[in-house]
Each structure stands twice: as C-alpha cells, then as structure tokens.
C-alpha cells in the first residue's frame, strides 16, 4: 500500500487559492489518487479523484505530475466553510481487496 | 454522489452491553465495505474490511470477537460492539465501495458513548 505524506496543517484567508500537496513515492501502477474532505463529527466526503495529469470538477482541481509520486489538491477561492481536514488516499480502485487507509490528513483553517 | 447511510448517528449505552451499527448503501451495490474508528483530533483508523458473503478481514490489533462484522447483502453491513466498555467510546465510520471497484463513499458516522 502506498503511504502518503501531507502537511499537518495549513492556514489561509478567505478568497485565496489553497494548494495541498501529498507525497506518495511508492505509488503503484494501478493506484488512483483520491482526496476526501472531513468536517468534525461527519464522515469523509469525496472531493476528487485522478490517475495522471490534471482533473477538475466543480469544487477542486487535482494536479498529478508525470512521475505520479505526488499530487496537489487545489481549492480555488476558499471560504470559511472550507475549514476542514483533507485526506489524500492512494489505492487500486479495481481491486476489491484493496484497503482504504488514511494518513494524517491536512487540517485547513480558513479565516477572514 | 452515491449515498451511504449509517444508523444510528449517536448512541449511549451502558458498560457491558452490545451495540449494533448499520451501514447501508442506498443507491448502489457494495461488494466491499470498510469500518473505521476515529478518536478526537486523529485520523480514521481502519478496523476491518468486509466483503459480501465472506468473513471480514480485521486489521492487526482489532479484536474480531469484540467487533463483530456482518456483510450479509450487497447493501448492508453491520458492526456490533460486544460487551462495550468506556474505552470503546469513539466515532465509528463505515465506507462502501461500488461493486467492481471505483470510488468509496462514507456514512455520516456513529458517535458511541459507553457509560
């Protein structure tokens, strides 16, 4: 299982773009990269998923370099409601035996 | 996105009793479900992986006789905390992955307090 490393915490002001980078040096060929957001006392919420290059949806972008040893979640113009913990997970989506293991996550604090 | 419903959202029980938590995938079939526990300010810790129709695979250090997992159908998995003690108080979260692989979706979590 590919281990992930993220910054423990980040601070941002409302309206700024936030980039959270995750390192996964031993990512396997079949592994996808998935990001989740978690608010206190709630289950994680899916944000975005990708395999390579760039993926964009209505809430975020995910940048993955060619070597796939890292990935960056980009949140455009954050608001106070984006204050949460963000987790990067790496795993083989097709393998039913593939476990979903969480790292420490990044605690993002957005202020005015 | 797909919906995973977890019930109850919170429960308080007396020490020594058992508590059952249900996890349902409402609009998709889930061959694989995961159970986690989370302590305050910490990350989610995987307890076990359950596959429909077979025995769950428990992570090291998780007592299978204490945390009973049943995954009898493609839309329902249950976690029973047997003979609960105050140290079992935690936030329990389930996750369901669509049959054939793909994204995993999480329930809203269950706050268990053992008194």
Closest Cα in chain B to A96: B101
The confidence band for B85, taking pLDDT boundaries of 50, 70 and 90, is very high
Determine contact: B13 vs chain A, CB below 8 A. Answer: no
- pLDDT at position A97, please? 52
Q: Residues of B with CB below 8 A from A1's CB?
A: none
Instruction: Give yes or no for B17 touching A (CB within 8 A).
Output: no
State how far the Cα of B97 lies from the Cα of B28, in Å rounded to an integer. 9
As a whole number of angstroms, the distance between CA B113 and CA B102 comes to 33
- pLDDT for residue B7: 96
Q: Do A41 and B44 touch (CB under 8 A)?
A: no
d(CA B79, CA B99): 20
pLDDT in tens, A7-45: 999 999 999 999 999 999 999 898 899 999 999 999 999
Mean pLDDT of chain B: 92
| Residue B52's pLDDT band (cuts 50, 70, 90) | confident
B18 pLDDT band (50/70/90 cuts)? very high
Provide the total of helices (H) and of strands (E) in chain B, helices listed first.
Answer: 0, 11
Residues composing chain A: 112
Write out pLDDT tens, residues A81-108. 999 999 999 987 665 556 778 889 999 9
- pLDDT tens, position by position, A42-57: 999 999 999 999 999 9
A49-76 as b/e, with b when 16 or more CB fall inside 10 Å? bbeeeebeeeebbbbbeeebebbbbbbe
Q: Do A101 and B109 touch (CB under 8 A)?
A: no
For the stretch A64-83, pLDDT in tens is: 999 999 999 999 999 999 99
Report CB contact under 8 Å: B101, A105: no
């Amino acid at each position: 299982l590919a281990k992930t490393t993220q910054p423990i915490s980040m601070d941002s002001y409302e309206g700024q773009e936030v980039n959270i980078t995750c390192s996964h040096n031993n990512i396997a060929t079949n592994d996808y990269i998935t990001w989740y957001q978690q608010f206190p006392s709630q289950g994680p919420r899916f944000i975005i998923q990708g395999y390579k290059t760039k993926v964009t949806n209505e809430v975020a972008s995910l940048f993955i370099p060619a070597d796939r040893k890292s990935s960056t979640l980009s949140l455009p113009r954050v608001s106070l409601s984006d204050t949460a913990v963000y987790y990067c997970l790496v795993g083989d989506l097709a393998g039913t035996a593939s476990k979903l293991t969480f790292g420490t996550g990044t605690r993002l604090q957005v202020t005015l | 996105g797909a919906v995973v419903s977890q019930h109850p959202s919170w429960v308080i029980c007396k020490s020594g009793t058992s508590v059952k938590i249900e996890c349902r995938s409402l609009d998709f079939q889930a061959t694989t479900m995961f159970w986690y526990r989370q302590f305050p300010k910490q990350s989610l810790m995987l307890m076990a992986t359950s596959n429909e129709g077979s025995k769950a695979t428990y992570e090291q250090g998780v007592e299978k006789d204490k945390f009973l997992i049943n995954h009898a159908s493609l839309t329902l998995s249950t976690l029973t905390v047997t003979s609960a003690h105050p140290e079992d108080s935690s936030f329990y979260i389930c996750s369901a992955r669509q049959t054939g692989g793909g994204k995993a979706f999480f329930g809203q979590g269950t706050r268990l307090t053992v008194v």
